[in-house]
Amino acid sequence: MAGCGIGAHSSFDTSSKTPHMLFISLLKRPALRATLLALLLAAAAFSASHAQQQPTRGGTLNWALRVEPPTLVPINTSAGGATDIGPKVTEGLLTYDNQLNPKPLLATAWEVAPNGLRYTFKLRKGVKWHDGKPFTSADVAWSILAVKQYHPRGRATLAQVREIQTPDAHTAILLLDKPAPYLLTALSSSEAPIVPRHLYEGKDVASNPHSNAPVGTGPFLFKEWVRGSHLVLERNPDYWDKPKPYVDRVIARFIPDASARAAALESGDIHIAGGGVAVSEIARFSKLPNLRVDTSASPYSSPYNQIIINHETPVLQDIRVRRAIAQAISVERIGKLAWYGQGVPSATAIGKSSRYHNASIPFYPFDPAAAEKLLDAAGHPRGADGKRFTLRLTTNPYTERRIADVIRQQLQKIGIDAVIHAHDFGTYVNRVYTKREFDLTVCAQSVTFDPTVGVQRLFWSKNFQIGLPFSNGGHYVNPEVDRLLEAAAVEPDEAKRRQLFAQFQKITWEDVAVINLGTPPETVIYHHKLIDAEPGAERTTGSFANLYFAP
């Protein structure tokens, strides 16, 4: 016999059999039975796969945010909340898959010149702003230059962009002075949002009312923002990427209390939350049948915790004091008590997930006795009350509060009274980056996909600016660090770029420019019926256009 598949010759007569009888007779033949069962399983798998590829429409997505943002469009801020909400309304040129490969968004095609000094983007035609005006290359040019001027990361990311040409309504050409090897990955909706020029030009970006009631090209329309409570976005019926979005409405609820977020997730009142529960609850939530817990790291934002040191505080200008503090803090203890062993500690400013991480740099040894000797030598003996001096320790709402508690306890043991100041997000940003009323702060940063984009801003002396959130908050100044960062930003040779970043990490470690903690546990908790049709690198800072509820 040539074979026993469906295409093989067979000797049985089918002329007088009904389909049902034929099926039964086929099942009686062992070889054919195996083949038919395999085909049926394959058909079932295809059907299930096909069903998953056909998202259902409708429903309201309830989303919990632990911090209410100061603004909704991340054109002049990298603050959480703005980078979460903004991309649902305002879009960037590109989006990215999990390997950080660029995919079309407002740009449909792009070309980079061999010398890396010319980026040509072909823009999507037929796109309209939510107010009905056409989207054009003029909007792209204005927005990119605004990000360069006002955004804490954009000041470094787009430093080499000299000019943006707009030869026609659907072409934008970025001309650079020097190469920027990371640039094609820095054009997401959360990193470089494109806003309507006709609503922004000639107006102050920070106070523009459209930053709090945004008009975009994205899948959702801004409806209302009830301060202290919630924000409502509604489906854009004229979205260019039809039939997306799939859900009718997104309600973002501001729930700062971790216990309240956990209760809302368990009850089903909330369908999705990034960092939704306390780290101590992650294991329990992973076992709940109605929820899913995604602990995979975000390849795009890469959250990072560090203790920023205010180099304007006189007592902290002495490197012996900074080293004493570093030796008095046990990062291992922080990892156990605050992260429950689920974080990834790192002694350097570039975390372990980055190919530029310098693994040769260790944590300062936990040695309180040595720390006390350094403080004595620096002229800060204990007083009659056992205290040497007092420091203001502020804590970012995006970090685990226990980190600050551990730091306070450990600094008390060497005679430093670290008084914790905990604030809502807006007050925190104002006190640290505008009023400068802090000495140490436990901060949450996004070090992103490339050090030039996410790390340079924190150490580059030219990025210290009063009122600019998540810039060089410590006002750290080192000309050699500036040189290394600026050289790495334009270095196309990968090996040389690694060397420059390795030197940068070594110097900032020796200076105790900051005290690095590492990558905290990352979680996105979502309802088991909530499906992402096209998962990408941006996680909750993406558009939500691909989310739908399974029947």
Phi, psi of 271 (to 5 degrees): -100, -20
pLDDT for 18 equals 41
Tokens 């604030």 label which residue? 423
β pairing state of 118-123 and 161-168: unpaired
Structural domain for 221, as ranges = 214-297+523-549
Claim to verify: residue 315 and residue 265 sit in the same structural domain: no
Residue 188: DSSP 8-state: S
Enumerate the β-bridge partners of residue 345: 518
DSSP state of 279: G
- Of residues 82, 78, 110, the one with CA closest to residue 94: 110
**pLDDT tens digits along 514-544:** 999 999 988 899 999 999 988 888 989 999 9
pLDDT for 74 equals 94
Residues 6+ apart with CB under 8 A from 195: 73, 75, 90, 139, 142, 143, 146, 210, 214, 215, 216
Clarify whether residues 382 and 342 are in a common domain.
Answer: yes
464-518 pLDDT tens trace: 999 888 899 999 999 999 999 999 999 999 999 999 999 999 999 999 999 999 9
Contact 120, 111 (CB under 8 A): yes
Reply yes or no on whether the pLDDT at 19 is more than 50.
no
Are 529 and 503 in a shared domain? no
In angstroms, the CA 123 to CA 202 distance is 24
3-class DSSP assignment, residue 235 = strand
Establish how many alpha carbons lie within 13 A of residue 526's alpha carbon, considering only the half-sphere containing its beta carbon. 19
Indicate whether 169 belongs to any domain: yes
User: Is residue 418 a contact partner of residue 316, using CB atoms and an 8 Å limit?
Assistant: no
User: What distances in angstroms separate CA 440 from CA 93, 358, 395, 406, 507, one per listed residue?
Assistant: 37, 25, 9, 14, 20
pLDDT (tens digit per residue) in 273-296: 998 888 889 989 999 999 999 988
CATH number of 538's domain: 3.40.190.10
Query: SS3 for 191?
Result: coil
Q: How far apart are CA 366 and CA 330, in angstroms?
A: 6
Of the candidates 6, 3, 1, 2, the one whose C-alpha atom is nearest the C-alpha of residue 38 is 6
Asked if 398 and 437 sit in the same domain, the reply is: yes
Asked whether residue 365 is domain-assigned, the answer is yes
Domain assignment of residue 311, yes or no: yes
pLDDT digits (tens, 9 = 90+) for 222-242: 999 999 999 999 999 999 999
Please report, for the domain that includes residue 496, its CATH number: 3.10.105.10
